[in-house]
Amino acid sequence: MELRQLEYLVALAEERHFTRAADLARISQSGLSAAIRNLEDELGTKLFQRTTRKVEPTEACHALLPYARSMLSQAAAARDAVVRSSNELSGQLRVGAEQCLGMVDVAAVLERFHDRHPQVEIAFTQAGSEELLGGVREQLLDVVFVAGADHVGALSRAELGRDTFVVLLPPWHELGARPWLDRSDLASEPFVDFHPSWAVRRLNDTAFAAVGVTRRVHLTVNDVHTLLDLVGRGMGIAVVPRHVGAKPQAAGLAVVPLRPDAGPEWIVSLVAAGWDRADSPAPHFIDLVAEPGAASLSAK
């Protein structure tokens, strides 16, 4: 039983989808499938029930998961202890992130970096992706987690993962019974959406305009939970990345997938002005994020 296998097990158990789990673990889908099969063969039991539409953890998988998470956390803590003893890094790290990106647990990454380099002062900013990229270009931020790829320009970008979009509707909405929706189906609906500085708003505006739909965005928000609350109260519908529709606060909403070819994907990236700035802690932070499992697993 190898740590990489356990990392893939946790990713698949959380995502319950081979493609998304492979993106999260930064491995090919075939490589992930082979690793899970090898682990099942080693343990002599099925860890996942696979169908054409979903992947479900078995009882054996649920029994293994706490130990897998513990072993991964201990391995990360051991690695951090070695780094601390051999490299006392100092200075300031200026990090930014858009809210509720999915693909990466930003708080966990900041915790890991602080545990590894306690002498580094971390300054964190939360804002829309456009504002964050401006901060990197103006040298006000060192590294940022953003969504979208077409507005990064010449900045260095490392992709962390991709996801699809879903439509959130009040539970009584007639469109909630559909198996999937196209953007043209939503032309007459009032929308709740984020401020234009958020990547999801820019992606939505572009995608709807591409199919000739002029949306009516009645309510503009800067908070995911406010958006979910307003949709639940029937104040409008929303098109969001899949992980937003999976939040516990969205449990009472109707969540309908957009047709697979109905527009751009949700792409999450780590962006910096350059990858070789040895005069700041930024390269060490970038290296940590690049470690297997670092973007999604907490250090504790």
Q: What is the mean pLDDT of residues 125-143?
A: 91
Q: Is the separation of the CB atoms in 169 and 254 below 8 Å?
A: yes
pLDDT band for 275, please (50, 70, 90 cuts): low
Residues with Cβ within 8 Å of residue 205, at least 6 apart in sequence:
196, 215
pTM for the whole thing? 0.69
What pLDDT is recorded for position 163?
86
Instruction: Say which residue, 75 or 276, is predicted with more confidence.
Output: 75
Q: Which range (129-133, 136-140, 152-156) has the least confidence?
A: 152-156
What pLDDT is recorded for position 300?
32
Q: What is the mean pLDDT of residues 72-79?
A: 78
295 domain-assigned: no
Are both 190 and 225 inside the same structural domain? Answer: yes
pLDDT in tens, 228-257: 999 999 999 999 999 999 898 999 999 999
Q: Is the separation of the CB atoms in 120 and 92 below 8 Å?
A: yes
Q: What is the mean pLDDT of residues 50-78?
A: 84
Domain boundary among 83, 115, 149: 83
Backbone φ and ψ for 166, nearest 5 degrees, come out as: -130, 165
What pLDDT is recorded for position 25?
78
Q: What is the mean pLDDT of residues 138-162?
A: 85
What pLDDT is recorded for position 100?
85
pLDDT in tens, 114-123: 988 888 999 9
297 domain-assigned: no
Q: What is the mean pLDDT of residues 4-23?
A: 84
pLDDT at 290 over 60: yes
What pLDDT is recorded for position 139?
87
pLDDT at 207 over 60: yes
Are both 43 and 187 inside the same structural domain? Answer: no
pLDDT band for 298, please (50, 70, 90 cuts): very low
pLDDT at 143 over 70: yes
Domain boundary among 83, 102, 123: 83
Here the CATH number for the domain that contains residue 63 is 1.10.10.10
Q: Which two tokens stand for residue 294?
A: 């670092």
Query: Can you list the alpha helix ranges (DSSP code H) found in the chain?
Result: 3-15, 18-25, 29-43, 59-86, 106-116, 129-137, 199-210, 224-232, 242-245, 282-290
Instruction: Say which residue, 85 or 141, is predicted with more confidence.
Output: 141
Q: Is the separation of the CB atoms in 238 and 170 below 8 Å?
A: no
What pLDDT is recorded for position 84?
58
Half-sphere CA count of 193, side-chain side, radius 13 A: 21
Are both 282 and 155 inside the same structural domain? Answer: yes
Are both 43 and 93 inside the same structural domain? Answer: no
**Paired sense of beta strands 48-50 and 55-57, if any:** antiparallel
Are both 179 and 220 inside the same structural domain? Answer: yes
Q: Show the domain range for 73.
A: 3-83
Q: What is the mean pLDDT of residues 81-88?
A: 64
Q: How many domains does the chain have?
A: 3
């995911």: which residue's tokens? 224
Rounded Cα gap, residues 64 and 10, in angstroms: 10
300 domain-assigned: no
Are both 15 and 33 inside the same structural domain? Answer: yes
Q: What is the mean pLDDT of residues 71-83?
A: 75
What pLDDT is recorded for position 299?
32
Q: Which of 149, 141, 132, 144 is nearest to 271 (CA)?
A: 144
Q: Is the separation of the CB atoms in 165 and 242 below 8 Å?
A: yes
Q: Which of 281, 269, 294 is nearest to 97 (CA)?
A: 269
Q: Which of 170, 165, 232, 146 is nearest to 204 (CA)?
A: 165
Q: Please give the mean pLDDT across all residues of the chain.
A: 86
Q: Is the separation of the CB atoms in 188 and 64 below 8 Å?
A: no
Are both 145 and 273 inside the same structural domain? Answer: yes
Query: Looking at the DSSP assignment, which residues form a beta bridge with residue 94?
Result: 123
Here the CATH number for the domain that contains residue 245 is 3.40.190.10
Q: Which of 82, 164, 72, 148 is nearest to 115 (CA)?
A: 82
Percentage of the chain beyond pLDDT 70 is 92
pLDDT at 50 over 60: yes
Q: What is the mean pLDDT of residues 286-293?
A: 80
